[in-house]
């Protein structure tokens, strides 16, 4: 189940699981560790995606469009 909790909730969720008897080890329980882990995974996924595009040697294009809503909010779509 996806609940979209912020990373600052991470230590509290670790405490809750400990109260439930789940053995989580003693490392990587802080919100900073969760942020670093997510950043590392995102960087690796981005690197692999870009490398696969370069390795394919296929032409590609990027479409960019900008629009303004009735409430004068600008939106850029790539």
Q: For residue range 9-61, what is the model confidence (pLDDT) as tens digits?
A: 888 888 899 999 999 888 888 888 888 998 999 999 999 999 998 999 988 88
Whether residue 18 is contained in a domain is answered as yes
Quick check: 30 and 10 in contact, CB under 8 A?
yes
Whether residue 29 is contained in a domain is answered as yes
Quick check: 24 and 5 in contact, CB under 8 A?
no
> Confidence band (pLDDT; 50, 70, 90) for 2?
low
Whether residue 2 is contained in a domain is answered as no
Quick check: 3 and 27 in contact, CB under 8 A?
no
| Full domain range(s) for residue 60 | 7-77
The domain total for the chain is: 1
Whether residue 1 is contained in a domain is answered as no
């Amino acid at each position: 189940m996806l609940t979209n909790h912020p990373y600052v909730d991470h230590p509290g969720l670790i405490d809750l699981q400990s109260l439930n008897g789940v053995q989580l080890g003693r490392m990587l329980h802080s919100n900073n560790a969760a942020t670093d882990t997510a950043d590392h995974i995102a960087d690796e996924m981005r690197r692999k995606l870009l490398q696969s595009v370069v390795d394919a040697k296929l032409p590609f294009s990027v479409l960019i469009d900008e629009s303004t809503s009735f409430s004068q909010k600008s939106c850029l779509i790539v």
